[in-house]
């Protein structure tokens, strides 16, 4: 038999959040070990369930959800997204500009497949949510990483963005609130990015999936709201804000200047038609979610479970010698730094694997987020305070041994 190889398209595609270390953790679980998992931003397994009203609505609509919907999605759901777009002040959005997908993940893939030809470049943040880099590569483009500056609260380095623009640059990706850093970008910074996009005719892709998961009273501005004259693609969904990741519901909104983008929009329409439609049961959750009680507020308030867990995890991590961390203002993650003078790590995947083997704690290494050096890791702070205390205690013990070596 001839060996069956994966396609060459996958040669540069990498998604380490569910990568080799996770496989190792699964084997350890099969052998009976209990692993504390701080690796995936999946709210429900940690007791953050979708609001009851959403579940009830999905159940009530289940019998009618057995057929396909329109490729762009159910009308009522898209109407609710339209209302959301108006609330976020997205300019020049009509019903035809709204696409529902099987999670933001599918729409990121569709958006990149529809855009890119060989040699096209897309500016993607470092660190990033690595699906963006993977989707650009899979679509035949090249992800060019612009730096986010840890010493400046992980905000994008505007000079680095400018320096990395070439005649092949088609677009810039903004993840705000950011995964993995938790940074939330102020309007002034977003306005500078819009200006760069305007000058260089770049499309802006804004991944705003955590736009309600905000701490310390910060507010969120959609970059598209500042860019009526730029083509913007804003992505959002129910996975995080409404703790319904398993429903696989996301949406994409085209806004701003669209007249020159008719051909691209045709491409988006075609790809959405080819996958027929998004999961219809999940689509029924959208109207209730967006129109209902925004119950995430209770979780992110200072006394709320998410905020308390963030504060505890940040405090415990930054008490470890040689560990520093910008306190996240949004999302579900901490992205601590290991001082290379204290922890001279050459291979951070190996480091994370050894931590797993010795302490039964599962994290994701910083280079898995296309970070430039092996000196960071990401911690999901969804587990309850007992598990977080236990896990970070184990990380501290592991690091103490590294210091002694």
Q: Which residues bind ligand PLP (CB under 6 A)?
A: 41, 103-105, 129, 175, 179, 207, 209, 237, 239, 245, 250
> Tokens 């930054």 identify what position?
318
In DSSP terms, 145 is beta-bridged to 124
Q: How far is the CB of 296 from ligand PLP (least distance, A)?
A: 15
In DSSP terms, 242 is beta-bridged to none
Q: How far is the CB of 7 from ligand PLP (least distance, A)?
A: 23
Nearest-angstrom CA–CA distance, 217 and 263: 41
> Tokens 């992980």 identify what position?
154
Nearest-angstrom CA–CA distance, 237 and 302: 24
Nearer to ligand PLP, 314 or 369 (CB): 369
Nearer to ligand PLP, 51 or 237 (CB): 237
Nearer to ligand PLP, 242 or 343 (CB): 242
Contact status, residue 397 vs residue 358, Cβ threshold 8 Å:
no
Tokens (6 digits) for 318:
């930054």
Q: How far is the CB of 42 from ligand PLP (least distance, A)?
A: 8
Query: How many whole angstroms from its chain centre is CA 150?
Result: 18
Task: For residue 143, count CB atoms less than 10 angstroms from its CB and return exposed for 0-12, middle for 13-18, buried for 19 or more.
Answer: buried
Nearer to ligand PLP, 252 or 399 (CB): 252
Tokens (6 digits) for 171:
């677009």
Nearer to ligand PLP, 206 or 323 (CB): 206
Nearer to ligand PLP, 323 or 364 (CB): 364
Q: How far is the CB of 397 from ligand PLP (least distance, A)?
A: 29
Nearer to ligand PLP, 178 or 225 (CB): 178
Nearer to ligand PLP, 41 or 383 (CB): 41
DSSP-assigned states of every residue in 30-89: HTT---EE-S---SGGGT-PPPHHHHHHHHHHTGGGGS---TT--HHHHHHHHHHHHHTT
Backbone CA torsion sign across 99, 100, 104, 109:
negative
For 51, other C-beta atoms within 10 Å of its C-beta total 19
Q: How far is the CB of 23 from ligand PLP (least distance, A)?
A: 19
Q: How far is the CB of 31 from ligand PLP (least distance, A)?
A: 28
Phi-psi region of 142 (alpha: psi -120 to 50; beta: other; left: phi over 0): beta
Nearer to ligand PLP, 316 or 330 (CB): 330
Q: How far is the CB of 108 from ligand PLP (least distance, A)?
A: 7
Which is nearest to 129 in space by CA: 355, 333, 402?
Answer: 333
Contact status, residue 172 vs residue 205, Cβ threshold 8 Å:
yes
Tokens (6 digits) for 61:
């609509």
Contact status, residue 123 vs residue 165, Cβ threshold 8 Å:
yes
Query: How many whole angstroms from its chain centre is CA 244?
Result: 15
Find the helix or strand (DSSP H, E) in which 144 lies: strand 142-149
Q: How far is the CB of 238 from ligand PLP (least distance, A)?
A: 7
Q: How far is the CB of 132 from ligand PLP (least distance, A)?
A: 8
Nearer to ligand PLP, 250 or 366 (CB): 250
Q: How far is the CB of 104 from ligand PLP (least distance, A)?
A: 3
């Amino acid at each position: 038999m001839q060996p069956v190889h994966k396609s060459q398209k996958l040669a540069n595609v990498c998604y380490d959040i569910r990568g080799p270390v996770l496989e190792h953790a699964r084997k350890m679980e099969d052998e009976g070990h209990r692993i504390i998992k701080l690796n995936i931003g999946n709210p429900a397994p940690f007791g953050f369930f979708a609001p009851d009203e959403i579940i009830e609505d999905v159940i009530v609509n289940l019998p009618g959800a057995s057929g396909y919907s329109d490729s762009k999605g159910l009308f009522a759901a898209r109407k609710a997204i339209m209302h959301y777009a108006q609330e976020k002040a997205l300019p020049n959005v009509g019903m035809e500009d709204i696409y529902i997908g099987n999670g933001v993940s599918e729409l990121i893939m569709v958006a990149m497949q529809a855009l890119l030809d060989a040699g096209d470049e897309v500016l993607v943040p470092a660190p990033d949510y690595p699906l963006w880099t993977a989707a650009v590569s899979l679509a035949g483009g090249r992800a060019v990483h612009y730096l986010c500056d840890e010493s400046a609260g992980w905000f994008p380095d505007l000079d680095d963005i400018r320096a990395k623009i070439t005649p092949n640059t088609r677009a810039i990706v903004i993840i705000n609130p950011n995964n993995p850093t938790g940074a939330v970008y102020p309007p002034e910074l977003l306005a500078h990015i819009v200006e760069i996009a305007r000058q260089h005719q770049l499309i802006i892709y804004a991944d705003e999936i955590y736009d309600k998961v905000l701490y310390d009273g910060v507010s969120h501005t959609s970059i598209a709201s500042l860019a009526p004259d730029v083509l913007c693609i804003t992505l959002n969904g129910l996975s995080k804000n409404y703790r319904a990741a398993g429903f696989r519901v996301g949406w994409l909104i085209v806004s701003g200047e669209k007249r020159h983008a008719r051909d691209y929009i045709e491409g988006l329409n075609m790809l959405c038609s080819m996958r027929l439609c998004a999961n219809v049961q999940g689509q029924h959750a959208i109207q209730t979610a967006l129109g209902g009680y925004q119950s995430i507020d209770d979780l992110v308030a200072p006394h709320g479970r998410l905020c308390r867990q963030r504060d505890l995890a940040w405090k415990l991590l930054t008490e470890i010698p040689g560990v520093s961390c910008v306190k996240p203002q949004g999302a579900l993650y901490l992205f601590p730094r290991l001082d290379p003078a204290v922890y001279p790590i050459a291979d951070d995947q190996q480091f994370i694997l050894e931590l797993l083997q010795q302490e039964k704690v599962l994290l994701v290494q910083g280079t898995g987020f296309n970070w430039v050096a092996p000196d960071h890791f990401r911690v999901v702070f969804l587990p309850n305070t007992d598990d977080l205390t236990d896990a970070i205690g184990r990380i501290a013990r592991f690091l103490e041994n590294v210091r002694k070596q």
